[in-house]
Amino acid sequence: MTTYNAPVEEMMFLFNNLKDNKNYNEIEKFKEINSDLVKDILDQAAKINQEIVHPLAKIGDENPCIYENGIVRSPPGYKEAYTKFINDGWTSLSCDPKYGGQGMPKTVSTFFEEMLSSASLSFKLYSELSIGAYNCILHHADEKIKNKFLPKIVEGKWSGTMCLTESQCGTDLGLIKTKATKQEDGSFLLTGQKIFITSGDHDLTENIIHLVLAKIPGGPSGTKGISLFLVPKFNVNDDSTIGSRNGVNTLSIESKMGIKGSPTCVLNFDNAKGFLIGEENKGLSSMFTMMNLERIIVGIQGLGIAETAYQNSLAYAKERKQGKSNNNKDNQTDFIIKHADIRRSLLNMKSIIEGQRSLAFWLSQQVDVSLNHPEKKIRESADELVSLMTPVIKSFFTDMGTEITNEAIQVFGGYGYTKDQGIEQLYRDNRITPIYEGTNSVQAIDLVFRKVLNNKILSKFIKLIKDEIKDDNNKIELKRFSKILEQNLFLLLEFTKWLEDKNKNNKDDVSSACNDFLKVLGYISLGYSWFKTTKISLEKIKENKEFYEEKINTAKYFFDKIFPRIESHYQSAKSGSYSIMNAKFN
């Protein structure tokens, strides 16, 4: 079984030193969120995740969800843990106090999302979609529905799902067949089937609130005819008490590679009563409120699992003896952490993970600004940056999670391949993250075609980086890093120009380059984060020499050993799509 210790010190380093978004610091209601309060929250979060949630990871993997007689049962210990989880208020952390929430900013709740992902992704998924449903209802439902459903979701007594996928369509939602027929009282009756529904049914909550995409007969074809509906498992009375069973039933649950403690359901809607969220035929845009925030959270899942993989790899490398290192002087067998290649693996993990955590913290500030700043133009500007970086966070973080969990297995050797250590489970659990909430290839296509070629959001982000690296304080290490960043920003601009040119006459070249472009932007974004971290570390090195020297050395590793990957992605992309599109595959 793996162990996990929440990296509270790392998180507090970011909160105390890199909360540097001017617009974020202007948000009045967050000014009272000080370091002492955040430290207390994170300490309590660490305690529940380390002591209660983390042991459930192995339990859920070895004793998966059970489906019998139409009922889904969660793994042993999940009910008790979930009861404490909601009694301690963790589902309400980032929710509006109007509905019983604590009103914490994303800068705080993102840290909690990481901890929960590190501890047990399966357990996390029961509450994660509930917060997504909460956000969608909050932004698009009428006041009556908000008041009726949100308090129980915030409390954690009711959970939520997102029902999009059908057997004939996943990415292409215009092909959905689920039908919604309007009734005289303004409600709708939904008929159809949805598949791959995370936490679609379980025994942890009194009710489950499904957000379902469906088509109203007579509406436009394709995605323009999609509407969004709230469909509860149990009908809800006007006083918010639970009424009769609705026409929603579970047909089966999937047998999966990983996240076995989380039920992935096939749901049947048979004249199930539902309520329109937002406008008719505008459901996809409403659902994207939930989907886009969920995509960022999926990226955090990749980060969280990678952190657990790194912690256990480091601990194992310090206790496993094998061979003699090159600088061995006593002719005794060495711990494998003394071997250069193992140290390389560990620094790969460490430099990517800490860079990602810093980037996620930067983005969380942008999310908070986009949702809460009093000035519309500032909110819109921040929202553009969030839109640009969402596919990067989702895809890059989860791809790196796959790389890091794979490398962790390698550090453990044969023991990593067996189930006893729990390392192979981290790989299996993470492997879904590049697939769900829009596959990473789809995210890369979205980034290039919608966010880069059709608008100028990228230039805004590049300007942020350039403004940051202008201020290198005449420090030798910073100057070296700024030069590397500048060189790769030039490459990014050249890559963008190449995409623009190819988009005019050979879109296959563009499509084949999307994944490479996303990786290039991902590594440059981490470089931006490491530059900011190094600047702070050089300023504060006298306060905690060991801590900040380690930061600087890890940044150096990243710029020297990880950044060169950018050039290979660029060269691969520029080779075009000829060999790809001319392959016969006989």
Q: Which two tokens stand for residue 431?
A: 């492997």
Q: What is the distance between the alpha carbons of residues 136 and 148, in angstroms, rounded to a whole number? A: 14
pLDDT of residue 49: 98
Which letter does DSSP use for residue 247 in this model?
A: S
d(CA 311, CA 324): 23
DSSP code per residue over 80-145: HHHHHHHHTTGGGTTS-GGGT-----HHHHHHHHHHHHHH-HHHHHHHHHHHHHHHHHHHHS-HHH
Measure the CA–CA gap between 321 and 339, rounded to whole angstroms: 10
Q: How far is it, in rounded angstroms, from Cα 2 to Cα 429? A: 13
Catalytic residues: 437
The encoded tokens of residue 465 equal 């980086």
DSSP string across 299-338: HHHHHHHHHHHHHHHHHHHHH-B-S--TT--S-PPPBGGG
The region, left, alpha or beta by phi > 0 then psi within -120 to 50, assigned to residue 474 is left
**CB of 440 within 8 A of CB of 298?**
no
Q: What is the pLDDT of residue 323?
A: 83
Helix (H, G, I), strand (E, B) or coil at 538: helix
First to last CA, the chain: 45
Say what the alpha-carbon torsion angle 242, 247, 252, 256 is, to the nearest 10 degrees.
-60
- Alpha carbon separation from 456 to 200, 259, 296 (Å, rounded): 39, 38, 21
- Of residues 70, 63, 16, 57, the one with CA closest to residue 38: 16
If you ran DSSP here, which 8-state letter would residue 74 be given?
P
* Its pTM surpasses 0.75: yes
pLDDT at 491: 97
Residues 6+ apart with CB under 8 A from 86: 155, 156, 157
Q: What is the pLDDT of residue 332?
A: 84
Q: What is the pLDDT of residue 471?
A: 79
Closest CA relative to residue 163, chosen from 123, 135, 129: 129
Q: What is the DSSP string of 167-184?
A: TTBSS-GGG---EEEE-T
Maximum distance among all Cα pairs of the chain, rounded to whole angstroms:
86
Give the separation between CA 424 and CA 421, rounded to whole angstroms: 8
pLDDT at 473: 65
For residue 438, the number of C-alpha atoms closer than 13 Å in the C-beta half-sphere is 26
DSSP 166: B
Residue 447's Cβ-count burial label (10 Å; 0-12, 13-18, 19+) is buried
| pLDDT reported for residue 286 | 83
Q: Is 36 helix (H, G, I), strand (E, B) or coil?
A: helix
pLDDT in tens, the chain (586 residues): 899 999 999 999 999 999 999 999 999 999 999 999 999 999 999 999 999 999 999 999 999 999 998 899 999 999 999 999 999 999 999 999 999 999 999 999 999 999 999 999 999 999 999 999 999 999 999 999 999 999 999 999 999 999 999 998 877 788 899 999 999 999 999 999 999 999 999 999 999 999 999 999 999 998 899 999 999 999 999 888 999 999 999 999 999 999 999 999 999 999 999 999 999 999 988 887 777 888 999 999 999 999 999 999 999 999 998 887 777 777 788 899 999 999 999 999 999 999 999 999 999 999 999 999 999 999 999 999 999 999 999 999 999 999 999 999 999 999 999 999 999 999 999 999 999 988 999 999 999 999 999 888 999 999 999 999 987 767 788 999 999 999 999 999 999 999 999 999 999 999 999 999 999 999 999 999 999 999 999 999 999 999 999 999 999 999 999 999 999 999 999 999 999 999 998 8
DSSP string for residues in 278-306: SSTT-HHHHHHHHHHHHHHHHHHHHHHHH
The pLDDT of residue 182 is 96
Helix (H, G, I), strand (E, B) or coil at 47: helix
DSSP 403-469: HHHHHHHHHHTHHHHSSSSSHHHHHHHHTTTTTSSS-HHHHHHHIIIIIISSSSHHHHHHHHHHHHH
Give the Cα separation of 125 and 123 in Å (integer).
5
Reduced 3-state DSSP string for 352-409:
HHHHHHHHHHHHHHHHHHHHHCCCHHHHHHHHHHHHHHHHHHHHHHHHHHHHHHHHHH
Cβ–Cβ under 8 Å, residues 392 and 525: yes
Rounded distance between C-alpha atoms, residue 354 and residue 373, angstroms: 28
What CA dihedral angle connects 476, 480, 482 and 485, to 10 degrees? -170
Residue with token string 């639970």: 242
Mapped onto helix, strand or coil, the DSSP state of residue 249 is strand
Residue 443 burial (10 A CB sphere; 0-12, 13-18, 19+): buried
Counting Cα atoms < 13 Å in the Cβ hemisphere of 128 gives: 28
